[in-house]
Amino acid sequence: MTDLARIPLNEAARLLRTGAAVPADLLDAVRKRITTLDGTLGCYRWLAPDVAVPDRPPPAAAGPLWGMPGAVKANICRRDWPVDCASRILAGWHAPYDAHAVSQLDAAGALLLGTSAMDEFGMGSSTENAYDLVTRNPWAADRVAGGSSGGGAAAVAAGLAYFALGSDTGGSVRQPAHCCGVVGLKPTYGRVSRSGLVAHASSLDVIGVLARTVADAATVFETIAGHDPADSTSCSDPVAVPNVEIRGTRIGIPRGGWGDVTSAEQQRDLDGALRAMLQAGVEPVEVDLPPLDLALAAYAVIAAAETSANLARYDGTHFGSRHDGPDHGAAARAVRSAGFGLEVKLRVLAGAYVLSDPRGGDLLDRAFAVRDLVCRIFSTALELSDVLLLPTCDGPAFRLGEYADDPVAMRNVDRWTVPVSLAGLPALTVPTGWCVEGLPLSCQLVGRSLDEGRLLAAGSVVEAACGFQLPAEVAT
Amino acid sequence: MNYETVVGLEIHIRLATATKLFCGCANRSGGVPNSRVCSVCLGLPGTLPVLNARAVSLGLRLAAALGADIPEVSIFARKQYVYPDLPRNYQITQWDPPLAVGGALVGGVGGDPWRVPLRRIHLEEDAARLTHRAGADTRIDFDRAGAPLLEVVTEPVLRSGAEAERSVRALQRLVRWLEVSAARPEAGDLRCDANVSVRVRGSAALGSRVELKNMNSSRGVRLAVAYEAMRQEALLAAGGEVLTETRTWDPDRCETVLLRAKEDVPEYRYLPEPDLPPLRITAAEARPALPEAPWTRERRFVSELGLTQEHAAVLTASRAMADLYESVLAEGASARNAAQLLTGEATALARERKTPMVSLPWQAPRLARLVDLIASGVVPAARTRELLVAILDREADPVEEVERRGWTVVIDQDLLGPWIETVLDRSEVQVAAYRGGKRGLLGWFVAQVVTLSGGRADPGSVARLVAARLSERA
């Protein structure tokens, strides 16, 4: 029989509803896998010592998240949890409040197990940039899980959680979903409150979902999305994931195809996804995409500028790790020198440079201009079509340490995801198949602003057509 | 060499909102340190600012009253500098465009008008309060962190400490008038920075600019600017050079002290605030309903009511004062006499009771009747104070009070006669002197009679009768 910990969330919910299982069964199954596998995989940074398990059947009003064990990325606040963002500078800091998304999960009755592994402050694409923990790809021990939400993606893939909350600034939910073979949803910017999400680059940060199926991702998304007065950038539009009729939907394909996708297998999977959609009655439309390299450069400038301001508060004065010094400046320098990792320091310095007058002001303005351009081009593409079909990445998960000496090259991994983030559009990564090296591949669907409903409907079509299956067991 | 001082002011006003600018903590001062803080105003990870709509509307009130242009969209920015009084190491402030642009402070409308054009008005958050303990540590009180401030920046057109003081006072009166701020200098509600430079009179170029910080009162501004101008003039006169630097005003030693030299000036690395969408102001919001401006009212008191410039200024020192005055007029009192009563005896009584004039339980109809009684000569002016006390302490009606206590002025010859005779009878020497030609003694006789009557005798009538009586005997 299939391991209970590895079935989709909505199937597990059905078992609870019919009485075939109780929440303790799900929790035990997941915990058993955490005990045996997490030492190797490194999905969790911290596990809550006490998870209150309901010992009664679900109340009539309970939704599918009731009693469902899940993981929360270590940059999303939960009261009294060590939300350290995988940074030494926040070691020992306990969040004094719950993020809005976490409160929503609580209200839905989900069981939150602990904090999932990540790159420090969400900066990275491999979950190697933590001071103490690297996450491995469940399907190849020498490969990365992707990042920065690598811990959550690996946990969901390998049955160490039914779902995970991640955060996506330039691809940090979609790319690890691609690497681990799970579904990754980055909602529209502002769809999910950022209240309680530790800021990386505030105009780009979105809380996203990692799940085993498109339906599971939709379930979690509907629970955490919605207006929150504590976040002035949160949308007030109602959240509904209606059953969208996919027939007649126009799918946008880049003019000339995905010519610069470097992997032939990735190319094959995209073609397969497109064929599946055509068979479902979707009409193809050729559209222009923004220049990816320019978008990547603009992203680097904007994200660094915002990062440098967001991370300025970590000086050890009134929270987080402390350091003595002859004066405040010296103590702050000492805390920051010891507390931040290399990638974070690089971005903070780049941001300070970008914002320094007189040249920096101009750099930032030019980056904003590129961002406007990217938005306009996407906007045109999404007038001609309803959903875009793009790759998530050029190829499968790379090797651990592959970019250790070249952090700038690592950022190129995100070239398909970053432009979408700049435009704030919703995007969904759906696994499509396996490459010869035994690693998953995926496609990325991009929707109109606030149109997650159609996006998820299109994702279901791809999912059904591809028949993607995860391996029976984790590679060791 | 003949020098000229050039001053521009940056005045920070703490807005009278219930809560801070970006969170729900109470916006008050005093009490136990760090008792009004939350995750947001402490800048803890994951927290986000939410703009206080009340602070915006108060800012718009002031901007509209100053005649400033209010852009449809203004933006917030992060002004970055590392200092322990800033919880996030950046301050959220408005950059370009700000809440309002232009406008002017005006004053001296009674006869000596002046006008100080403004550069901009913007919203920003206050920093925490640091207490440096000599030879020990520094304590941080975050209660003030995130308090809502409105910064008003003047053009550099002021020419002296006195002009700077006048501008600060005018702004202080206006923000209280509009109930935008309590503007208590002692509570730090009003804090001033001044950019001061001197140049040879007639020169168009500005001299090196020194930024003065830490003036907490209009008087402090006057003294600091005057001192700094003197210091710079002395430097230049001695062939020296004024350095661009930041100095702080030391009120105890009455001098400005170097805070930081130019090369240490922080680079603020402004960044548009991604956590706050652009602030949109509707046309209706940009034109709030405002009370009549203090300078308009002051001018009206002079031109329409015929008050002196001094009375008009005192009666428009606060909106409550002007309202009280006009409510007395509405009861039919004469303008000048009412002004005399309120700025004279009533103000003196309030001072004696150590209570603000407008907080005392005056009642306009009673004050109006009192003004009438005195103006028409029914009651001697010497009774004013007692009647005011009766109004305040016993809610007495002045007319009834005067009747009850028999304070009516006596003009009847039959009643005045006996008092006059009594005085003349006991004043043989003075009578003889008067008749000998010392006519100046008439006033002395009148005073004697008025005193004898317990203040009731009408001095005019007495004078007439005494003069007639003495000439008749001669």
**What's the confidence (pLDDT) of residue B379?**
82
Smallest Cβ–Cβ distance between A232 and the set B83, B267, B276 belongs to B276
Q: Which of A87, A116, A125, A148 is catalytic?
A: A148
* pLDDT (tens digit per residue) in A264-319: 999 999 999 999 899 989 999 999 999 999 999 999 999 999 999 999 999 998 88
Q: What are phi and psi of B283, to 5 degrees?
A: -60, -40
Report chain A's terminal Cα–Cα distance, integer Å.
Answer: 22
**B352 in contact with A, Cβ within 8 Å:** no
**Confidence (pLDDT) at A241:** 67
Number of H-type helices and E-type strands within chain A: 14, 13
ipTM higher than the 0.90 cut: yes
Residue A20 CB neighbour total at 10 angstroms: 10
Could you give the C-alpha distances from B472 to A309, B411, B441, B469, in angstroms and in order? 98, 20, 17, 5
List A87, A172, A385, A449, catalytic entry: A172
Q: What is the pLDDT of residue B29?
A: 87
CA distance B59 to B56: 5
| Chain B CB contacts of A233 below 8 Å | 274-277
């394909």: which residue's tokens? A253
Q: Do A313 and B83 touch (CB under 8 A)?
A: no
CB proximity under 8 Å: B 15-44 to A: 39, 42-44
Q: Which residues of B touch A319 (CB under 8 A)?
A: 42, 44-45
A337 contacts chain B (CB < 8 A):
no
Residue numbers in chain B where pLDDT is lower than 70: 265, 473-474
Q: In whole angstroms, give the CA distance from residue A311 to residue B46.
A: 11
What are the residues whose beta carbons fall under 8 Å from the beta carbon of A379, sequence distance 6 or more?
A423
If one counts every other C-beta atom within 10 angstroms of the C-beta of residue B114, the result is 15
B39 contacts A97 by C-beta, under 8 angstroms: yes
Put simply, whether A90 touches B (Cβ < 8 Å) is yes
Residue A358 is predicted with a pLDDT of 58
A214, containing H or E segment: helix A214-224
- The shortest C-alpha distance from A184 to chain B (Å) reads 22
Chain B: give the shortest CA distance to residue A308, in Å: 10
* pTM of the complete model beyond 0.95: no
Pairing, β B3-14 against β B148-154: antiparallel
Chain B residues touching residue A356 (CB < 8 angstroms): 267, 269
Do the chains contact at B48 and A364, CB–CB below 8 Å? no
- The domains located in chain A, with CATH, are 4-250+390-466 (3.90.1300.10), 299-372 (no CATH)
Q: What is the percent of chain A where pLDDT is above 70?
A: 98
What percent of chain A has pLDDT above 90?
A: 84
Active site residue A148: yes
DSSP string covering A333-375, please? HHHHHHHS-HHHHHHHHHHHHHHSTTHHHHHHHHHHHHHHHHH
Of residues A207, A411, A203, A186, the one with CA closest to residue A306? A203
Q: Which of A72, A198, A202, A364 to mutate to test the interface with B (most CBs of B within 10 A)?
A: A202
Task: Report residue B425 as tokens.
Answer: 């009878």
Coil/strand/helix, residue A462: helix
Tell me what the mean pLDDT of segment A44-73 comes to.
91
Cβ contact (<8 Å) for A309 and B269?
yes
A102 touches chain B (CB under 8 A): no
SS (H, E, C) B317-383: CCHHHHHHHHHHHHCCCCHHHHHHHHHHHHHHHHHHCCCCHHHCCCCHHHHHHHHHHHHCCCCCHHH
Window 221-260 of A: residues touching B by CB (8 A cutoff) are: 229-233
A7 touches chain B (CB under 8 A): no
CB atoms within 10 A of CB B410: 21
Provide the token pair at A186.
């980055």
A99 in contact with B, Cβ within 8 Å: yes
Q: How far apart are CA B216 and CA B212, in angstroms?
A: 12
DSSP H helical ranges for A42-193: 100-107, 150-158, 174-180
Of B48, B51, B140, the CB nearest to A230: B48
- Locate A34 and state its tokens: 């955490």
Task: Kindly report the nearest CA distance between residue B275 and chain A, in angstroms.
Answer: 6
Q: How many helices (H) and strands (E) does chain B have?
A: 15, 16
Closest partner CB to A357 (pick from B78, B267, B277)? B267
Q: Using CB atoms within 10 Å of the CB of residue A172, give its burial: 0 to 12 exposed, 13 to 18 middle, 19+ buried.
A: buried
The model's confidence at residue A372, banded by pLDDT at 50, 70 and 90, is very high
Using a CB–CB cutoff of 8 Å, tell me whether A409 touches chain B. no
Q: How far is CA A16 from CA A23, A158, A211, in A?
A: 7, 21, 18
Q: Does A357 touch chain B (CB under 8 A)?
A: yes
Alpha-carbon distances of A78 from A71, A72, A74, A103, A197, rounded to whole Å: 11, 9, 9, 9, 10
How many residues are recorded in chain A? 476
How close, in Å, is residue A97 to chain B by CA atoms?
8
Separation CA A470–CA A439 (nearest Å): 10
Q: Two tokens at B432?
A: 């003889």
* pLDDT tens-digit readout, A50-60: 998 887 778 88
Query: Do residue A97 and residue B269 have CB atoms under 8 angstroms apart?
Result: no
- CA A62 – CA A48 distance, rounded (Å): 24
Interface test with A, best of B34, B37, B48 (most A CBs within 10 A): B48
**What is the C-alpha separation between B168 and A320, in angstroms, rounded?**
42
Q: Do A77 and B46 touch (CB under 8 A)?
A: yes
**Can you give the pLDDT at residue A407?**
77
Q: Which sign, positive or negative, has the C-alpha torsion B453, B457, B463, B466?
A: negative
Contact A318 B42 (CB under 8 A): yes
pLDDT of residue A359: 54
| pLDDT score, position A357 | 62
Q: Which of B41, B82, B132, B264 to mutate to test the interface with A (most CBs of A within 10 A)?
A: B82
Nearest CA in chain A to B279: A232
Mark yes or no for CB contact A96/B39 under 8 Å.
yes
- Residue A236 among the catalytic residues: no
Mean pLDDT of A168-178: 98
Catalytic site residue from A73, A126, A149, A308: A73
Q: pLDDT confidence of A328, banded at 50, 70, 90?
A: confident
Q: In angstroms, rounded to a whole number, what is the distance separating the alpha carbons of residues A213 and A460?
A: 8
| A232/B50 CB distance under 8 A | yes
- Separation of alpha carbons A92 and A98, rounded Å: 17
CA distance linking residue A107 with residue B22, whole number of Å: 27
Q: Does B96 touch chain A (CB under 8 A)?
A: no
SS (H, E, C) A38-86: HHHHCCEEEECCCCCCCCCCCCCCCCCCCCCEEEEECCECCCCCCCCCC
Buried b (16+ CB within 10 A) or exposed e, A25-59: bbbebbbebbeebbeebbbbbbebeeeeebeeebe
Q: Which two tokens stand for residue A100?
A: 């809005």
Q: How far is CA B124 from CA A171, B55, B87, B147, B152, in A?
A: 34, 10, 14, 8, 11
Q: Can you name the residues that pair with B257 across neighbouring β-strands? A: B248
Record the tokens describing residue A162, joined without a space.
């039914």
What is the rounded average pLDDT for all residues in chain A?
94
User: First vs last Cα of chain B: how many Å apart?
Assistant: 74
Go through chain B and tell me how many residues it has.
474
Task: Name the packing angle between helices A342-355 and A359-384 (round to 10°).
Answer: 100
Nearest CB to B48; choose among A201, A231, A306: A231
- SS3 label, residue A313: helix
Class of residue B295 by CB neighbours under 10 A (exposed 0-12, middle 13-18, buried 19+):
buried
Smallest CA–CA separation between B276 and chain A, in Å? 6
